Amino acid sequence: MNRESIIRHLTETEGVFDFIVIGGGATGLGVALDAATRGYKVALFEQSDFTKATSSRSTKLVHGGVRYLAQGNVSLVLEALRERGILRKNAPHLVKDQRFLIPCYRWWEGPFYFCGLVVYDFMSGILRFGRSMCIGPKRSVKTIPNLRREGLTAGILYHDGQFDDSRLAVNMVRTAIDAGACVLNYMRVINLLKEDGKVTGVVVQDCETGDTYQIKSHAVINATGVFADAILQMDTPGKRPMVRPSQGVHIVLDASFLASDYAIMIPKTSDGRVLFAVPWHDKVVVGTTDTLMKETLEEPVALEEEIQFILHTAGNYMTRAPQRKDVLSVFAGLRPLAAPRSEGKKTKEISRNHKIIREKSGLISIIGGKWTTYRKMAQETLDFAIRQLHIPTRDCVTEFYPIHGSKPHPDFSDPLYVYGSDADEIRNLITSAPGMAEKIHPKYAYTVGEVTWIVRNEMPRRLEDILARRLRILFLDARAAVEMAPRVAEILTAELSKDDAWKENQLNAFKEVASAYILV
């Protein structure tokens, strides 16, 4: 994952690429990985860091979606449950079996949700994670000691998947590169190349040097999530918007707020949505909201009412209700929902299914979907492009293709478990010189060696890339991330051979981004 050598590879590649993918989130990376492993020549361009946008801001669930089952969307749930199983098989170091508890406060909720979860288990088939159970109020409180006990009639235990979104993405980048793909961050698509009205490639600009390149391909796939309309406008100025951004906010609390390995799932909040409180990297992620937005920001900001809603709703179910001062980090993400043709629909009613669209020019866009189903979405997108654009067929192999780092039976108590099979290399670096074992923050296990390994192997280009999407500390504890920033900036500056002025710029830029993650 060396950016300079990949740029050289890109410019020296002879002939035309089979596929160009725009966007380095879950969707685009899935498409590039699928294309490369089928043996196609593929290039992917991401304007910022991988998963800078929506794909780093999920609830961290690899799930079938209990809520979609309640809405009767059986095909979506079936597909997602199957993909959940496949992803755990291909990336066992990043997908955990997470046990959930649904607390029930009305007599009918216990039998009602239990029946639903039995169906959910049945739909998972042989890829099932574990069996659902109905337990009494006493055992529910023993399972999650901070659960509100007044009025509790039952608890439903069920299993789903939990993962680290950005770390999975970095491992997908590595897998795609190893399979021959050119995958680049900080490379923005600024225009489409066309001949006789047909898209024949893209113009990209290196966001670091300002250099532009014209790259040709048989097919261009627009996988830019909530930014998809900007690419569609390059193709057809004035086109009707295809994406409806809906904001989802999460707050992060100390693990003591659950004091349990179990997650809580509230199936119906006061406004009819779902709220999760999920253990994640020794913290608890609580969310989310669903707020229709007019603007598509690169760094969306949580609205005060969204924060209040999460604190208030979580407080209804916890004996120790979280307060503003308990929030370690707050983050917002935009769902790239496919815009419905009829206006007036509420966001929770807009389909979570993905849409694949072909323009007259041959440009193909993939919009919507979920992290969980990225692999199947990628397969469908490529099969569609191959059919529509008469590209020689090659079969999809990703169902049985391990993601980089894949390691059977991972030890989730190891602080380096997210690195999978790379962890030993990091441990060797940490013990290779005394300075490498130096801790970067007194409260956390991160070391100079770990950061150095990341810079050398995972293509971070900016301070934020390390703190937000490689170590995840900005999402876990934003104040600690700010405290770690100067030391991490020193390592990054030395490794990339930059100067002090560059380091200062990085620090200032990071502080500005981090300020939106800190609740005052």
Query: Residues in the site for ligand FAD, rule: CB under 6 A?
Result: 22-28, 45-48, 51-55, 57-61, 188-189, 223-227, 248, 288, 333-336, 369-372
CB 224, min distance to ligand FAD, A: 4
Classified as helix, coil or strand, 131 is coil
Closest CA to 474 of 226, 304, 252: 252
CB 63, min distance to ligand FAD, A: 6
Which residues does residue 103 pair with via DSSP β-bridges, in sequence order? 155
Which is closer to ligand FAD, CB of 6 or CB of 448? 6
Which is closer to ligand FAD, CB of 257 or CB of 371? 371
Which is closer to ligand FAD, CB of 55 or CB of 506? 55
Q: Are 175 and 403 in contact (CB under 8 A)?
A: yes
Which is closer to ligand FAD, CB of 140 or CB of 291? 291
Which is closer to ligand FAD, CB of 176 or CB of 416? 176
Which residues does residue 246 pair with via DSSP β-bridges, in sequence order? 292, 335
Closest CA to 456 of 506, 497, 421: 497
Number of Cβ atoms within 10 Å of the Cβ of 457: 18
CB 226, min distance to ligand FAD, A: 6
Q: Rounded to whole angstroms, what are the CA distances from 306 to 18, 76, 348, 476?
A: 43, 27, 15, 19
CB 159, min distance to ligand FAD, A: 15
Which is closer to ligand FAD, CB of 355 or CB of 439? 355
Q: Rounded to whole angstroms, what are the CA distances from 354 to 69, 208, 334, 427?
A: 17, 33, 15, 41
Q: Rounded to whole angstroms, what are the CA distances from 98 to 107, 165, 263, 264, 500?
A: 26, 15, 7, 11, 44
CB 428, min distance to ligand FAD, A: 32
Which is closer to ligand FAD, CB of 204 or CB of 463? 204
Which residues does residue 96 pair with via DSSP β-bridges, in sequence order? 162
Q: Can you state the percent helix, strand and coil of the chain, rounding each to 5? A: 40, 25, 35
CB 55, min distance to ligand FAD, A: 3
**What span, in angstroms and rounded, lies between the C-alpha atoms of 488 and 226?**
31
Which is closer to ligand FAD, CB of 336 or CB of 402? 336
CB 163, min distance to ligand FAD, A: 8
Closest CA to 454 of 495, 485, 484: 495
CB 25, min distance to ligand FAD, A: 2
